[in-house]
Amino acid sequence: MADSAHNLLAASRVRLIKDRIARYGVTAGGVMVLVALLLIFFYLLYVVFPVFRPVTMEQHETYAVPGTGKTLALGIEEQNEIGFRLTDDASVVFFAARQANKGFNPGDIVSVEQLSGLTGELIVTMSTPASQTYAIADEQGQALVVRPDFRVTFPNDVRQLTPFVSYPLGEEPLQVDQQGQPLKHFVFERGETEATFAAVTADNRLIVTRLLGEEDFMTEEIEWQAEYYAIRTQTHDIDQLLITPDHRMMFVRHANLVDVYDISQPDAGISRLQTLDFGNTKLTYMDLLSGASSIMIAEQGGTVSQWFQVLTEQGREFTRIRDFDAGGNVSIMTSEFFRRGFMAGTTDGQLSLFHSTGDTRLVSKQLAEDSIDQIVFSPRADSALLQEAGQISYVDIYNPHPEVTWSALWQEVWYEGYKEPDYIWQSTSGSDDFEAKMSLVPISFGTIKAAFYAMLFAVPLALAGAIYTAYFMAPEMRTYVKPTVEIMEALPTVILGFLAGLWLAPLIEGNLPGVMTLLIVLPAGFLAAAWGFHKLPKNIKQRLPEGWDAAVLIPVVIFLGWFSFAISPTLEMWLMGGDARGYITNELGISFDQRNSLVVGIAMGFAVIPTIFSIAEDAVFSVPRHLSNGSLALGATPWQTLTRVVLLTASPGIFSAVMMGLGRAVGETMIVLMATGNTPLMDWSIFQGMRTLSANIAVEMPESEVGSSHYRVLFLSAFVLFIVTFVFNTISEFVRQRLRDKYSNM
C-alpha cells in the first residue's frame, strides 16, 4: 500500500518535472519570437553602425628619422609595414613604419638604395598618389623618375616584403629643362606612353616638357622623345605647380591667384583658361583630389576651398564649391589615393582630416609642436606617415566610410561635374575614378510616391468594400466574398508585378482614354444602376434578397469595363488627336514612361486592398449590434446609422487598417521592381516611374561588396524600412487593442 503510494508519488514527481520542463520549454519558445525580432533589429544596426562611428586618428609610434640626409618625400606601402624616404643625398631609405613583428623595430632601416646620375641640390615631386611614382630633379634640370616598389614572397609560408626601386622611365635621368638650368618647382605625371613635366626654372621660366614614348621593336624598351615648351608669363614669384594626371590641365599658384592652363595640346599653344582670384588673401597651398576633377586651395588663415569645373553660360568653369576650416595656416596637404578625402597640416602642427563631398572635417588633432614638414597617406588611407623636426610618426587612421554622413544621405550634395547640388543615388559605375553618390532622398521619395499612389487606389476601394461587406452584405454572399479576398491576399506579388509590367502597362498605354473614362463611368454607372433598380416594379425588386446588390453590379462592372475600352480609340481620336502618348508628351509636356506610377498604383493597390479590407471589415463587423439597432430604432436610415454610429465607433480600427496597408505598400518589393523603370527620379508625375528603397535593395544588394559603404548604406535602407513598418504596425496594433478593449466593455 505504502509502496504503491510511494510509486505514485515518484511517478507524479516525474510528471511534475516533465510539466515544469514543458513550461520552461514553451516559455523559451515564446520568447524566441521576441528574440528573432530583436536579432533582426540589432543585426541591422550592427552592420549600419560603423558608418556612423566617429573617425579617429592616433599617433602610434614616433621615432627619429632613419637614414641620412634631408627628407624630400615620404611614402608608405599598402600593408602599412614599410615606409620610405626620398632624401637630398639621392637615396631611397626603406624603413619599418610600425611594429609589425618582422624582426624590425619601428624606425629600423630595412634597406637603402642609392640613385645614380644626379648631381647637386635635389628637389622631388610626386605624381598622382595612386601611381606611387616620384620624380627627382637635380641642378642641371634633369630628372629621374623612380617608383619605390615591393616584392611579395612567401618563404616558409610567411609573407615577406622586399623593397626595391623601379625606374618606369628608364635609369638615365631625363632632361626636363632644355637649357639645363636648376628647377625651383616642378611637377610631373606619366601615362603609358607619355609623361609631362611642368617646372619653374631658376631663371623664372615656366616650362612644360612632354615626353612621348615609342617602343623599340628590337629591345622592347621604350625610347622617350622630349618636346619642350615655354609659357610666356609675367609672374616671377610662382609658389606651386600642379598638373592633372590626364596631362590636360596645369595649375599655377602665385601670391593670391591660381592660373589654370590648358596643356592638352602644347604644340597648338598653351592657353590660360581661367584665373582663380582670391582678392587680398594670400594662398598657402593647393592639391588635387583623387580623380583630379577637384582642386583644393588653402588660404591664409586656414580656409580650404574646393573648386571644380561646372557647366556655366561661359562653358566649363572652375567654381568655388565649398569651404573647409583647417584651423590655421596650411603648410601641407595631401589627398587620399582613391576616395575624395584629404589631409591638411598647419604651421602650428595641427592635422585635420576632411572628406570633400561629405562636407565635413572628420577629425582634427594637434600632432606636432611645430610645422608639419611631410605628410603622406597610405594607399588604403588607413594610416599616414608624418615628419616633423627630425622625427617620423606613424599615424593610425580609422576612417572606413567618410562619404556616408547624415548630410550626404539626406541633404543635397554638390558632386563633381554636376551643375548644382542635388539629391542623387548612383552607387556604381564602370569608371575607377567614380565617386559613389548615395543620397537616400530619391529612393525614399520613390517609396513614398509608390505607396501614395497605391493607397490612392486601394483605400477607397478597400474601405468602401469593407463597409459594405460588414454592414450591408447578405451573410451567404459574405461567405463567398471573404475567402475571395483572402485568396487575393495570397496571390504572389511576383505574379502581380509580372502582370503589371508586361500586361497592364502596355494595356494602359494603349488605352489611356479608356482608363480615364473608367474612372468617371464606373461611379456614374453604379448610380444609374441603383436608380434603375429603384424604379423597377416592386414585385421584381422583391425577388432580389437584401444584401446582394454587389452581385447585381458585377455584370455592370464588366459591361462598363468593356465599354470604356471599346470607346477608347474613338475618344483618343477626338480628344487627343489619335495618339494619347504623343499628346501627353508633346501637348501637355509631361514625359511618359510605359511603366509608370499609375501602373504601380493599380498593381500595388491590388496587393494592399486585401490587407486593408480584412482588418477594416473586422472592425466594422465587430461594432456591437445594439448600437446600430438603437440608431435604427430611433428612425435613422441604414446609411445614417452607418456614417453617424458605426463608422465613428469603428474608426480606430479603420485607421489601423489603413496603417497596416501603408506598411505593406512601403515594403513591397517585387511589384515596384517589375512595374516601374527603377530610375531614381524625384517627380510626383503619375506618368513616370520611381525607384523605391525595397527595389533598390533587391537590385543592388547581390552586387555590393560586403563591408563596403554601399553595403552598409543598403543595410541602412533596410533598417529604415524596418523602422518605418515597425512604427506603422505598432501604432495600428496599439489602436486595435484599445478598440478591442472598448468593445468588450460595451
Partner 1 sequence: MKTWFKSGSPWVWMTAGTVSISLVAVLGLLLLIAWRGLIYFWPAAIYQFEVRDQLGNVTTVVGEIHDREQVTVLQLRESGREIDGAPTDLVTRYLVKTGNREFVDLDFRWILETDIISRSQPTNMARVERTKNGNFYGQIEAVLEQGKPVAGDVAEVLEQRIARVAELTDGMADIQHSDIGGINYKLEKIRLRERGDELRDRLTQDRIDDYNAQREALRTEYLGYEKELFALREETERDSVVIKDMRGESVSISMKYVLDVIYPNDMSVLAKAGHWFIEVGKFISSEPREANTEGGVFPAIFGTVFMVMLMAVVVTPFGVVAAIYLHEYAGKNALTKIIRTAVINLAGVPSIVYGVFGLGFFVYVMGGSIDQLFYPEALPSPTFGTPGMMWSALTLAILTLPVVIVSTEEGLSRIPSTVRQGSLALGATKAETLWRIILPMASPAIMTGLILAVARAAGEVAPLMLVGVVKMAPTLPVDGNFPFIHLDRKFMHLGFHIYDVGFQSPNVEAARPLVYATSFLLVTVIVGLNITAIGIRNHLREKYRSLEH
Name residues contacting partner 1, limited to 4-23 (CB under 8 A): 15-16, 18-19, 21-23
Question: Could you give the CA distance from residue 452 to residue 639 in angstroms, rounded to a whole number?
Answer: 29
Q: Does 746 bind partner 1 (CB under 8 A)?
A: no
Cβ of residue 49: shortest distance to partner 1, in angstroms? 13
Phi (first) and psi of residue 309, to 5 degrees: -75, 130
Cβ of residue 101: shortest distance to partner 1, in angstroms? 23
Only one of the segments 143-151, 389-397, 401-409, 486-494 lies at the binding site for partner 1 (rule: CB under 8 A); that segment is: 486-494
Phi (first) and psi of residue 323, to 5 degrees: -115, 150
SS3 103: coil
Site for partner 1 in 547-606 (CB under 8 A): 549-554, 556-558, 561, 569, 573, 577-579, 582, 606
Among residues 333, 714, 735, 739, the one that binds partner 1 under rule CB under 8 A: 714
Q: Does 236 bind partner 1 (CB under 8 A)?
A: no
Only one of the segments 55-63, 261-269, 323-331, 500-508 lies at the binding site for partner 1 (rule: CB under 8 A); that segment is: 500-508
Strands 183-190 and 160-166: unpaired
SS3 152: strand
Cβ of residue 537: shortest distance to partner 1, in angstroms? 16
Question: Could you give the CA distance from residue 635 to residue 639 in angstroms, rounded to a whole number?
Answer: 11
Question: Could you give the CA distance from residue 376 to residue 336 in angstroms, rounded to a whole number?
Answer: 9
Cell matching residue 238: 610662382
Q: Does 722 bind partner 1 (CB under 8 A)?
A: yes
Q: Does 697 bind partner 1 (CB under 8 A)?
A: yes
Only one of the segments 52-60, 274-282, 415-423, 527-535 lies at the binding site for partner 1 (rule: CB under 8 A); that segment is: 527-535
Question: Could you give the CA distance from residue 85 to residue 65 in angstroms, rounded to a whole number?
Answer: 9
Quickly list H helices, 437-504: 440-467, 475-490, 493-499
Cβ atoms of 169 and 195 within 8 Å: the answer is yes
Residue closer to partner 1 (CB basis): 22 or 255: 22
Cβ of residue 527: shortest distance to partner 1, in angstroms? 6
Q: Does 381 bind partner 1 (CB under 8 A)?
A: no
Q: Does 729 bind partner 1 (CB under 8 A)?
A: yes
Among residues 180, 492, 545, 630, the one that binds partner 1 under rule CB under 8 A: 492
Among residues 2, 3, 4, 29, the one that binds partner 1 under rule CB under 8 A: 29
Question: Could you give the CA distance from residue 709 to residue 321 in angstroms, rounded to a whole number?
Answer: 24
Cβ atoms of 318 and 286 within 8 Å: the answer is no
Q: Does 32 bind partner 1 (CB under 8 A)?
A: yes
Cβ of residue 400: shortest distance to partner 1, in angstroms? 17
227 Cβ neighbours under 8 A, 6+ residues apart: 209, 210, 211, 212, 266, 267
Among residues 26, 212, 544, 575, the one that binds partner 1 under rule CB under 8 A: 26
Q: Does 680 bind partner 1 (CB under 8 A)?
A: no
Cβ of residue 564: shortest distance to partner 1, in angstroms? 13
Among residues 109, 255, 389, 491, the one that binds partner 1 under rule CB under 8 A: 491
Strand partners, 93: 85, 112
Question: Could you give the CA distance from residue 144 to residue 124 in angstroms, rounded to a whole number?
Answer: 9
Q: Does 62 bind partner 1 (CB under 8 A)?
A: no
Only one of the segments 276-284, 294-302, 427-435, 460-468 lies at the binding site for partner 1 (rule: CB under 8 A); that segment is: 460-468
Cβ atoms of 571 and 517 within 8 Å: the answer is yes
Cβ atoms of 152 and 160 within 8 Å: the answer is yes
Residue closer to partner 1 (CB basis): 29 or 537: 29
What is the DSSP code string of 404-430?
Answer: --HHHHHS-B--TT-SS-B--EE---S
**Residue whose C-alpha is closest to residue 352's, from 339, 340, 366:** 366
Residue closer to partner 1 (CB basis): 130 or 557: 557
Amino acid type, 430: G
Only one of the segments 302-310, 377-385, 624-632, 721-729 lies at the binding site for partner 1 (rule: CB under 8 A); that segment is: 721-729
Only one of the segments 297-305, 351-359, 484-492, 647-655 lies at the binding site for partner 1 (rule: CB under 8 A); that segment is: 484-492
Cβ of residue 138: shortest distance to partner 1, in angstroms? 48
Among residues 100, 590, 627, 698, the one that binds partner 1 under rule CB under 8 A: 698
Among residues 522, 576, 590, 686, the one that binds partner 1 under rule CB under 8 A: 522
The helix (H) or strand (E) run that includes residue 670 is: helix 670-675
Strand partners, 196: 189, 210
Q: Does 545 bind partner 1 (CB under 8 A)?
A: no
Cell matching residue 125: 615631386
Cβ of residue 156: shortest distance to partner 1, in angstroms? 14
Computed from CA positions of residues 348, 351, 356, 361, in that sequence, does the dihedral angle turn out positive or negative? negative
Cβ of residue 486: shortest distance to partner 1, in angstroms? 6
Question: Could you give the CA distance from residue 331 to residue 22 in angstroms, rounded to a whole number?
Answer: 73
Site for partner 1 in 654-673 (CB under 8 A): 660, 663-664, 666-670, 673
Only one of the segments 91-99, 128-136, 326-334, 711-719 lies at the binding site for partner 1 (rule: CB under 8 A); that segment is: 711-719
Q: Does 158 bind partner 1 (CB under 8 A)?
A: no
Q: Does 499 bind partner 1 (CB under 8 A)?
A: yes
Only one of the segments 86-94, 154-162, 194-202, 463-471 lies at the binding site for partner 1 (rule: CB under 8 A); that segment is: 463-471
Only one of the segments 154-162, 264-272, 292-300, 693-701 lies at the binding site for partner 1 (rule: CB under 8 A); that segment is: 693-701
Site for partner 1 in 609-638 (CB under 8 A): 609, 613, 637-638
Cβ of residue 386: shortest distance to partner 1, in angstroms? 36
Only one of the segments 253-261, 341-349, 368-376, 520-528 lies at the binding site for partner 1 (rule: CB under 8 A); that segment is: 520-528
435 Cβ neighbours under 8 A, 6+ residues apart: 291, 339, 340, 357, 403, 415, 416
**Residue whose C-alpha is closest to residue 97's, from 61, 131, 68, 67:** 61
Computed from CA positions of residues 604, 610, 611, 613, in that sequence, does the dihedral angle turn out positive or negative? positive
The full length of the chain comes to 746
Site for partner 1 in 41-60 (CB under 8 A): 43-44, 47
The helix (H) or strand (E) run that includes residue 15 is: helix 2-52
Cβ of residue 650: shortest distance to partner 1, in angstroms? 14
What is the DSSP code string of 604-652?
Answer: HHHHHHHHHHHHHHHHHHTS-HHHHHHHHHTT--HHHHIIIIIHHHHHH
Question: Could you give the CA distance from residue 285 to residue 323 in angstroms, rounded to a whole number?
Answer: 14
Site for partner 1 in 79-108 (CB under 8 A): none
Residue closer to partner 1 (CB basis): 281 or 730: 730
Among residues 400, 510, 624, 677, the one that binds partner 1 under rule CB under 8 A: 510
Residues touching partner 1, count (CB under 8 A): 114
Residue closer to partner 1 (CB basis): 533 or 563: 533
Q: Does 398 bind partner 1 (CB under 8 A)?
A: no
Give CA separation, 466 vs 393, 463, 485, 538, in Å: 72, 5, 10, 29
Only one of the segments 122-130, 344-352, 414-422, 524-532 lies at the binding site for partner 1 (rule: CB under 8 A); that segment is: 524-532
Among residues 418, 526, 563, 565, the one that binds partner 1 under rule CB under 8 A: 526
Only one of the segments 183-191, 290-298, 330-338, 698-706 lies at the binding site for partner 1 (rule: CB under 8 A); that segment is: 698-706
Question: Could you give the CA distance from residue 282 to residue 256 in angstroms, rounded to a whole number?
Answer: 5
Site for partner 1 in 301-330 (CB under 8 A): none
516 Cβ neighbours under 8 A, 6+ residues apart: none
Cβ of residue 381: shortest distance to partner 1, in angstroms? 24
